Amino acid sequence: MKPFLLKWFQTMQVSWSNLMVYKLNFFLQIIGPMLVFFFIKLSLWSSIYGGYDYVKIGGYTLSEMLSYHLWVMIAGMIIMSSTASNLSEDIRLGKISSYLIYPFSFWEFHAAKYLARQVIQIIIALITIISCYFLLDRLYIAFEPVSLAIGFFVALLAGYYWFAANYLIGILAFWLDETWTIMVGLQIMTYFFSGAIIPLELFPETMVEILYWTPFPYISFVPAKILMGHIPPLLPVIGILSFWSLFITLISYLVWRKGLSLYTAAGM
């Protein structure tokens, strides 16, 4: 293996060992909220529909709506790994000093850590898909290998975007004492504008048109739809997502350089 791959792989391994120490913590922080969120939406939409499956809202029957939210949750598992709060803490408490000395960068370290968690979450997502396939009525869950493959691919791209956005917010800690407020702000905006609560078909049309140019729909709505078997033209999806990912990575790079010149390694 190439040395740089070994570095990444070993970092991922250490992250896994660390996750094993905090299994319960991991479950409660990442998987727990996803499940809770899913069940809240389940009961919310069930009562909105009044339990009737012939009612259509925004083109969705109740079972289609529930199936949509199931896929949103699965997409979330693939995309949204740990947030940037521990990253900010590393900066504020001067813990990044070690990573300024090791011949492995802070960015690489956090990317590898993110990837490590993502791998575990993808396994959980696969288990969820398989168990849904066997446990639920086939109506709830479309199971087409092609759309699953494309859906996973788009979700992985979106996963990188989500990492980059969180990384950027995390390193704002060079200036701000508390970055979690921004992070929560981004999360709430994402939940709403990504279609994770209400599918985008129910949004005003002009708003949706604008939203398509932002990264939000690609976090939930688009991958969930693809996983369900509705494949949109892929070029704009990949194009817009890649643009935002690269754009944010570039800004992170500039912010990092500027931040480092201010860094005082407090508490080191």
Partner 1 sequence: MIFSEGLNKNFKIYRKPPGFLQSLKSLFYREYHEKQAVDSFDIHIPKGKIVGLLGPNGAGKTTLMKMFTGIIIPSSGSLKVLGYTPSKRERAFRKKIALVMGHKSQLWWDLPAMDSFNLLQRYYEISNADFKQRVDELSDLLNVTHILNIHVRKLSLGERMKVELMSSLLHKPEVIFLDEPTIGLDLIAQKNIRDFLIQYHKKTGSTILITSHYMADIDALCSELILIINGSKRFDGSIKQFENLLGSEKIVNFSFSKPIENENGVWQQFKAHWNHDNTQVELSIPEKQMREVSQKILSEYPVCDFNTDKMPIERVMKTLLENPELAGPYR
Interface residue list for partner 1 (CB under 8 A): 3, 6-7, 9-11, 13-14, 17-18, 21-22, 94, 97-98, 100-104, 177, 260-265, 267-268
Least distance to partner 1, CB of residue 17, Å:
6
Closest to partner 1 by CB, 37 or 104: 104
What values do phi and psi take at 198, rounded to 5? -125, 125
Tokens read off for 127: 């288990």
Least distance to partner 1, CB of residue 26, Å:
13
Tokens read off for 23: 């299994």
Closest to partner 1 by CB, 17 or 131: 17
Residue with token string 């990912």: 245
Closest to partner 1 by CB, 43 or 264: 264
Long-range contacts, 201-208 (Cβ 8 Å, 24+):
201/58, 201/59, 201/60, 202/57, 202/58
Closest to partner 1 by CB, 21 or 135: 21
- CA separation for the pair 158, 219 (Å, rounded): 6
Tokens read off for 156: 């992985």
State the Cα angle at 57 between 59 and 55, rounded to 5°: 100
Q: Which of 67, 113, 65 is nearest to 87 (CA)?
A: 113
Closest to partner 1 by CB, 216 or 256: 256
Least distance to partner 1, CB of residue 168, Å:
19
DSSP string, 36-100: HHHHHHHHHHHHHHTT-SS--BTTB-HHHHHHHHHHHHHHHHHH----THHHHHHHHTTTTHHHH
What values do phi and psi take at 236, rounded to 5? -60, -35
Closest to partner 1 by CB, 157 or 172: 172
Least distance to partner 1, CB of residue 230, Å:
43
Closest to partner 1 by CB, 10 or 131: 10
Least distance to partner 1, CB of residue 266, Å:
10
Q: What does the DSSP 8-state code read for residue 265?
A: -
Least distance to partner 1, CB of residue 268, Å:
6
Least distance to partner 1, CB of residue 123, Å:
22
